[in-house]
Chains A and B, each alone.
Chain A
C-alpha cells in the first residue's frame, strides 16, 4: 500500500509542466504505480484544459491554417534511437518504471560500503541530476541537510527516516529544510532519485558503516 504521495503543489507543477525534468521523471514513476495520484493529476490537467478554454483567444496570421494544411501529409518526425541501458541485474520481479524507457542508464558503480549508484541520463535534459541507488540492508546515514529539493521514489525494499517508513511505490520529497537520518530496511532498498542543482550524491549515499 502506498503511504507517501507527491505533495499537492508538486502534482500541480507536474500538470502545469513546470517541474524540472528529473523531478518530473520521478513523479511519473510514482504515477505509474499510484491510481490515486493518476486521478488527481487527471483533475489538475482538466483544470489546465478549463483554463485554456477560457483564455482570450489570440488571432493567428491569415495564412496560418493554409500553412498547417500544407503540412498535414508530412511524415511525423522519426522517434529517437533507443537509449543505452546497462543490465542492472535487478531483483527478480522488479521492472524499471516506464518513465525511464528513453533514459540512458549506466552500470552500477560502487560508491561506498553497501551502496551502489547508476547514473540516469536524460538525453533531452542531460543537465538533470537523476540516479538509481541500491543500498544494502541496515545502512545508516549521517545526519545532514539538503542543498535543494530531492525526490526519491522507492522501487524495491524500503527505508525509514524521521518522517516515516517508505516502501515500494512511495515517494519522498525532501527540501533544504529537512535533516534526514534514514536507514535502509533489512532487505535493502532500490530507489530512483532526482536532485536539484549540480551533480551531488543524495542523502542515501552519505553512509556510515552499518
Chain B
C-alpha cells in the first residue's frame, strides 16, 4: 500500500462519500472503505493536529476514528447528516474521549439517542446539500469571522484562542462568536 495522501486522486463528492458509507454498512465493502480511508483519514489527522495533538498521537487516534467509521457505518443516516458531518462527529467524540482517557477513565459512546423519524425526500435533499451550502457560507464570512468559527471548532480552548488570535479582551469573545454565527445563519438563509 503506497502512502495515503489525499492529493493523488479526484476527491469524491458528498453524495459519493455517502454512498460509500452505505456500501460499508450494507455489505462490509472493503473497497468502498479504502476510498473512505483515503479521503477522510488525512483530514481527521489534520483535525486532531489542530486540536493540539502531536504527530504520532494524531496518527494513532486517526486510525481509531477510521476503525469507528467501519464499526458504526450502520448508524449513518444520510437524511440526518452528510458524510463529512458524520465523520466530524465521530472524530470530535474520539477527541473528547481521548482527552479523558489521558486521565484513565473510559467514556461511553456519546451518540445522542433520538427518536427515529422517517426521512422525507425533502430532508434527504437538505442534508445532501447542506455541507456544500455551508462551505459556501463559511467562505463568504470575513477573514476574522472565519477565524472565529475555525478556532471554535478546532481549538481545545476556543475562547482563549480567539482572544489571543484576534487580540480581543476575553469578555468580548462571546459576542463576537454570536455575531459570526448570526452572519453565518443569514448567509445560509440567503443561499438559493
Residues of A in contact with B (beta carbons under 8 Å apart):
7-9, 12-13, 15-18, 21, 28, 31-32, 38, 42-43, 45-69, 71-72, 76, 79-80, 98-99, 101-102, 123-126
Q: Is the interface of A mostly helix, strand, loop or mixed?
A: helix
Minimum Cβ distance to chain A for residue B17 (Å): 9
Contacts of A48 in B (CB 8 A): 85, 88-89, 92, 153
Contact B30 A69 (CB under 8 A): yes
Q: Which 7 pairs, one residue from A and one from B, show the smallest C-beta to C-beta distance?
A: A49-B85, A57-B42, A57-B6, A49-B84, A124-B107, A17-B92, A50-B134
Residues of B in contact with A (beta carbons under 8 Å apart):
1-7, 30, 33-34, 37-38, 41-47, 49-50, 58-59, 62-63, 66-67, 70-71, 80-89, 91-93, 95-97, 100, 105-109, 112-114, 127, 130-132, 134-135, 138, 149-150, 152-158, 174, 177-178, 181-182, 184, 188
- CB closest chain-B residue, reference A98: B113
In the assembled complex, 13 residue pairs joining A and B whose CB atoms fall closer than 8 Å, in A order, are A8-B178, A17-B96, A31-B112, A45-B81, A46-B130, A47-B134, A51-B149, A51-B154, A55-B46, A58-B42, A59-B4, A60-B4, A123-B108
Cα distance, A47 to B70, chains bound together (Å) = 23
Q: Is the interface of B mostly helix, strand, loop or mixed?
A: helix
Contact B42 A51 (CB under 8 A): no
Cα distance, A101 to B154, chains bound together (Å) = 29
- CB closest chain-A residue, reference B58: A58
Contacts of B30 in A (CB 8 A): 69, 72
Cα distance, A61 to B3, chains bound together (Å) = 6
Cα distance, A125 to B108, chains bound together (Å) = 10
Cα distance, A17 to B37, chains bound together (Å) = 23
Known: A17-B92, A45-B85, A64-B62. 17 other contacts (CB 8 A): A18-B156, A28-B112, A32-B113, A32-B114, A38-B114, A46-B82, A49-B86, A49-B87, A52-B88, A55-B46, A56-B46, A60-B45, A64-B4, A64-B59, A65-B41, A67-B63, A68-B67
Contact A8 B152 (CB under 8 A): no
Cα distance, A98 to B110, chains bound together (Å) = 11
Contact A65 B1 (CB under 8 A): yes
Minimum Cβ distance to chain B for residue A36 (Å): 13
With A9-B177, A49-B82, A53-B84 known to touch, is A64 a contact of B135 (CB < 8 Å)? no
With A48-B89, A51-B153 known to touch, is A58 a contact of B45 (CB < 8 Å)? yes
